[in-house]
Chain A
Amino acid sequence: MIAELGLAMLWLAAALALLQLAAGAGALTARGGELAGIVRPVAVVQGVLCAGAFLSLITLFLRTDLSVKLVATNSHSLKPVIFKLAGTWGNHEGSMLLWVTVMALCGGFIALFEKRLRQDTMLATLAGQAFVSLGFYAFMLLSSNPFERLAEPPPEGNGLNPLLQDIGLAFHPPTLYLGYVGLSIAFSFAIGALVTRDVGPAFARAMRPWVLGAWIFLSLGITAGSYWAYYELGWGGWWFWDPVENASLMPWLAATALLHSSTVLAARNALRAWTVMLGVVAFSMSMIGTFLVRSGILTSVHAFAVDPERGSFILALLTIYIGGALALFALRASTISEGTRFAAVSRESALVFNNVMLSAILGIVLIGTLYPLLTEAFGEKVSVGPPYFNPMAAIFFVPMLLVMTVGPLLRWRDDRAGRTTGRLALPALAAAIVALGLVAFAPVIKPLPFLGMALAVGLAVASVLPLIGRDLRRTPLPTYGMVVSHLGIAVALFGVGSDSAFSIEKLVASRVGETHSVGPWKVTLRDIEPVAGPNWTALEAALAASYDGGSPSILRTQSRNFTSPPQQTNESALHTRWNGQLYAVLGEEADDGRWQLRLWWKPFVPMIWYGGILVGLGGLLALIGRLSRDIKRTRAEAKIAYRRERQGR
């Protein structure tokens, strides 16, 4: 019954999306004025219905209703409740429903709260949003119905991929999804603005909170995903340039560029065409990433639906939306009049530079991700990995970091280079001290980590400079947001540099009772015992680890075996200190009673993720600042209107 209800709500929501598109488009024509009134309410109801359908699916998973095909193939009655919940979106159909639900809810929110846009641009935006949603509704209703029933329910479900049975993974995909799909709003805004040729500061201000919101989720989602890969996959790395990782990085790069260019557009009415272009590109990257992961066209460690038929469906959607939007852009962009000019040394120039660098990195990641596909078309299989991505990205990342230190100190429109050079002495000094320290104490360090750590410290100092000499209580929240986010980049960069420069790895075959040293640590294998969980059995090693002769702490690492579906995973053990992490993984039993044990000492590695969290936090501060300013302005305007009305009487 719940499944049928969910399906019915999904069909209704799809029908309303069609109505929203038709009414929105109709209202833009000369004689369709009276249609305008229904677009907003329809968008709201569509959001509610779609959310209802998603809630139905969640309920089916929580109840483990095995008569529903999706539940039977992805869940199991023995699974802990939290993973039953995660099972809802841990599969193709469920994640598509989550996708369209987020889109529909965002549309509903715009309809309810967005008041700044011109009426016609608003209608075009909502119509665009409905148009994009429709494709995804069609995809689900015609080719991958999440509510499909089975004629004969099986006695037990198939379970969920054990790698995904992890608390991090339960919430990592929806976080990323909110980011991906949030960018659909930017896309719809861009289309709306192109249709009505209304690209100006008001458009940028209306779009910016949505981009910020999506960007926060993307930042946190990428951070969480990276940490998950680090501790769950047991290989001690935090980024592999895997297609799935790249699929999340590319929209983030585009959204970061969009965030900065929309600031220029909002403040200075410049970069009009470029901002609209980025609005299209950011969401395109979400869709292209999803396509690459879903179609099975690229092999990845965690691509999860190898299915050319679904691949072609998403490809068709991609072609219509991205191709259509880019064609619209090509036709209309020349008619968006140019924005305000600015001088070579100015805040705008720094932001343009940032945009160009981010776009270049985006291009490099995209090329690297697609390159295996290109060579495969010519019959050769290659894989592109860190040896390509790291140096290529660094070529553009390093100059961007340098400009990041200066940019926030520059004035809008026109500035003198001499004015800021004095203020840069402090960060330059900090970077120089770190560089000298590294040369003195770690002379064998590779150039990229060396550069990264020195630049990170310089950037960290530079990023707080915009606060110096200001009244801190009157400094706007978005300025704090910028400071915190830039600081986060510096912190993460320091962690990355330190990890690649100073990590120590040791692979040992250990008998119980033996002690091994890794960096400043002494690690003793105390014992190995079998343990059992709700749906797995494991061998658990207890390790006594002491830092620099201190008192030992006990770490437990497991090699787990899941039975349904059968799979083995390694649960790494982590011990975090202020100056780094000890990382241990239990391997297989070698001959003569010895056990494989992999140990790492990774100085300052947690800073990578602390930095990621700071980046997201900065975004949140900026978002709160922007929204509260909007609310204040709306209230003030209402007050003025009220007074005028009374005086008029």
Chain B
Amino acid sequence: MSDPATAAPETNRPGWVLWLPLALFVGFFVLVMVGLFRPADREVASAFIGKPLPAFDLRPAVPERPGLKTAEMATGKPKLLNVFASWCIPCAAEAPQLAALAQQGVEIDGVAIRDRQEDVQRFLGQYGNPFARIGADDLSAVQLAIGSSGVPETFVIDGKGVIRHQHIGDIRAEDIPTILAKLQEAGG
């Protein structure tokens, strides 16, 4: 915008210098037009994708399901890791989708963030329990360690315990095909 060349104070100024600011602005305009209308991938990609799950060992959040250990995550079969909480409304909204996935034979493990046992039980009683295991993450330590910034989030974990895909926010019906495709990829 402001080029030092135009700074020469009112002496011996050729006429074209006066048009220079406008020319620079046109350059700016072209640049942002390109930037604005080029389809960019604005998806937030976790830095943890492609990395193995960090080591953790969570106590069971509810007595009726076992807790969650990293060692048990590498079972040779891809699975989903769902970060949820009983106090989170979108988590309730995604419950039917998780149930549908579980019914199709997808293994889902849960991490309950900052929750109490009775609240988790009430939540599961109300919205169903698609989880094979549920670990209690009282201090969000695991949540942060796997690069999740909120609830709900769902990770696709491959058979070796490596994070393959991160879904931020609740899973909606239209997201199911993507999730299944990612599971398929992770299985291969």
Contacts and interface: CB of A to CB of B under 8 A. Distances in A.
Interface of A: 254, 270-274, 277-278, 280-281, 284-285, 288, 291, 295-297, 306, 308, 311-312, 315, 318-319, 322-323, 326-327, 329-330, 333-334, 338-339, 352, 355-356, 359-360, 362-363, 366, 370, 373-374, 376-377, 537, 539, 561, 563, 565-568, 588-589, 591
Contacts of A273: 10, 18
- 4 closest Cβ pairs, A-B complex: A326-B22, A356-B7, A566-B150, A359-B2
Given A254-B2, A284-B1, A588-B141, A297 B10 contact: no
A330 B22 contact: yes
Nearest to A298: B35
Given A281-B21, A319-B29, A339 B10 contact: yes
A561 B32 CA distance: 37
B31 A374 contact: yes
B10 A323 contact: no
Nearest to B91: A566
A270 B31 contact: no
A271 B10 contact: yes
Contacts of A370: 28, 31
B7 A355 contact: yes
Contacts of B139: 539, 588-589
A296 B3 CA distance: 26
Nearest to B89: A564
A537 B1 CA distance: 47
Given A352-B9, A360-B4, A373-B32, A277 B150 contact: no
Contacts of B33: 315
A359 B2 CA distance: 6
B125 interface: no
B47 interface: no
A350 to B, nearest CB: 12
A301 to B, nearest CB: 12
B15 interface: yes
A377 B35 contact: yes
Given A284-B25, A295-B36, A297-B36, 9 more contacts: A277-B21, A284-B1, A295-B32, A330-B19, A333-B18, A338-B11, A359-B2, A359-B7, A373-B32
Interface string B104-141: 00000000001000000000000000000000000111
Given A285-B1, A319-B29, A330-B18, A377 B10 contact: no
B29 to A, nearest CB: 6
B40 interface: yes
Nearest to B6: A277
A568 B140 contact: yes
Contacts of B37: 308
Contact of A323 (B29, B36, B114): B29
Nearest to A339: B10
B140 A561 contact: yes
Contacts of A306: 42
Contacts of B55: 591
Contact of A274 (B9, B28, B31, B144): B9
Given A277-B6, A339-B10, A334 B1 contact: no
B151 to A, nearest CB: 5
B1 A281 contact: yes
B93 interface: no
Contacts of A254: 2
A308 B10 contact: no
B150 A359 contact: no
B18 A271 contact: no
A55 B2 CA distance: 38
Nearest to B142: A588
A322 B23 CA distance: 12
Contacts of A356: 4, 7
A159 to B, nearest CB: 12
Nearest to B38: A377
B75 interface: no
A312 B36 contact: yes
Interface centre among B28, B34, B40 (most CB of A within 10 A): B28
